[in-house]
Amino acid sequence: MKIINISKGVLILLLLIMFQQLNAQNERSLFFLPGIPQEKYMNPAAFPDNKFYIGIPILSSMKVGLENTFNYEDFFTPVGDSIYFDRDHFIDNLNPETSLNLDMLVEYFSAGFRLNDNYFTFRIADNGNVNATFTKETLLFFLYGNGSDQYLGKEVNLGGNGINFSFFREYALGYSRKINPKLTVGMNMKYLQGIANVSTNDLSVSLFTDSVDYTIKLKSNIEINTSLPGVNGGIESADFMPSSDNPGFAFDFGAEYQFNEKLSATLGVTNIGFINWNANPKNYRSSHPDEEFVYEGFELEEYFEDNAFNSGALNNALDSIADEIGVVETAEGYRTAVPSWLNINANYRFTPSHQAGILFQNRFLQNQNWSTLTLAYTYSLKDKLHAMVSNTFSRSSAIAPSFGVGTNLGPLQIFIINENFVAPFSYRKATFYSLHLTINLVFRDKVTLAPEETTTPALEN
């Protein structure tokens, strides 16, 4: 059993990696809490019940959270007052694929207004996401090393891995229309401004280590693209100003159908689009995919001169290895897709105050699809107070209870949503957590009937 003592600095870094998997776009609760204008960006057909709204800058929509296939206890083992990384324990808990998903959203400005049977919205927001998938074989290889008994004299294939990181700004214009009393349709058109990207189209390596002389035979099929600010100097504020260097486009579309006064259903697809990365592009590709390269090692003494380490000699050796393997660097623009979503939702209102709902959500990523199912119950006190409880089922967790509560204090609307609220109390087992704050100024018509006061056939409360 291989046990490594974790220093405080390393532990903090690992915890940041685990608990900063910010997933701002898993907006499940917005389908069950009525009256939040930001629902429009997960349900394009949403038709807010206000005449006009404006989001409080920055505070109109902020969210943090995590959603992965691993948790704290998969990594660490407590021994007395210390925390250790137990290699064998970690291996026993590995999935065939380990997924790490990080998303961030900060909404700088948002507004919307109703015009007869039409509703228009606009917003500016920054989005950041990291999606990475690593196979169990790849993680085992890096844990044991090619010189271990497990890999000596055997060929190991390190394929099926992928990493995609993007940071971009979106300028979104939304439109919803009531076709008739039962059917509402909508869409959002988005101009995207790419700011930073690292993505892999392929990341496959086949490696054989000779058990006698440790000669390495290696085949690679690598394609990595980057577009990063500050590559020719420090990152400056100008890198985040409006620019057309990395343009992109995306759209959302959806429909909502009211079967009767109790049952409604929505279908929506969001973020169908791409970004062209033209600013500071760098590409790293295998010039001869799957061509075998033989590396016989080097004499350590060659990299020391006058008893001092010669870093220049090592850099030259690494460059030579890269050249022999056939990984070449170019500077060509490239295109990446934006992670997209499918949302299928149904809500059943038993009475004006009591509602149950279900949501199937699937996220389409380059290396994986992430599906979840959410069940929810909502209590509403006219249009003044809404409270929601739900649970999300995913491949990483069957128990993720959530709650949301919101209130309208005159024109001031405040909502807070805490998905998997038990995670802070059971963080060792948590794979999913999010906290979302929304503050808007909402202006309704002068005469607004609460659900209990409508002229439609009365429902028993």
Q: What is the pLDDT of residue 20?
A: 33
Q: What is the pLDDT of residue 459?
A: 43
Rounded Cα–Cα distance for residues 251 and 174 (Å): 9
Domains of the chain: 26-134+167-193+249-272+340-453 (2.40.160)
Residue 388 in this model has a pLDDT that exceeds 60: yes
Q: What is the pLDDT of residue 359?
A: 96
The bridge status of strand 118-135 relative to strand 76-79 is: unpaired
Most confident of 15-19, 101-105, 201-205, 251-255: 251-255
pLDDT tens figures, 146-182: 777 778 888 888 887 888 889 999 999 999 999 999 9
Residue 345 in this model has a pLDDT that exceeds 90: yes
Q: What is the pLDDT of residue 118?
A: 97
pLDDT band at 65 (very low <50, low <70, confident <90, very high): very low
Total-model pTM:
0.76
Q: What is the pLDDT of residue 456?
A: 41
Q: Which of 234-238, 252-256, 270-274, 406-410 has the lowest mean pLDDT?
A: 234-238
pLDDT tens figures, 85-135: 667 767 776 777 777 777 778 888 999 999 999 999 999 998 888 888 888
Q: What is the pLDDT of residue 52?
A: 93
pLDDT band at 71 (very low <50, low <70, confident <90, very high): low
436-455 mean pLDDT = 63
pLDDT band at 5 (very low <50, low <70, confident <90, very high): very low
Most confident of 69-83, 199-213, 412-426: 199-213
The Cα-based distances of 207 to 50, 112, 291 in angstroms read 62, 56, 12
Q: What is the pLDDT of residue 458?
A: 43
The percentage of residues in the chain with a pLDDT greater than 70, rounded to a whole number, is 71
pLDDT band at 22 (very low <50, low <70, confident <90, very high): very low
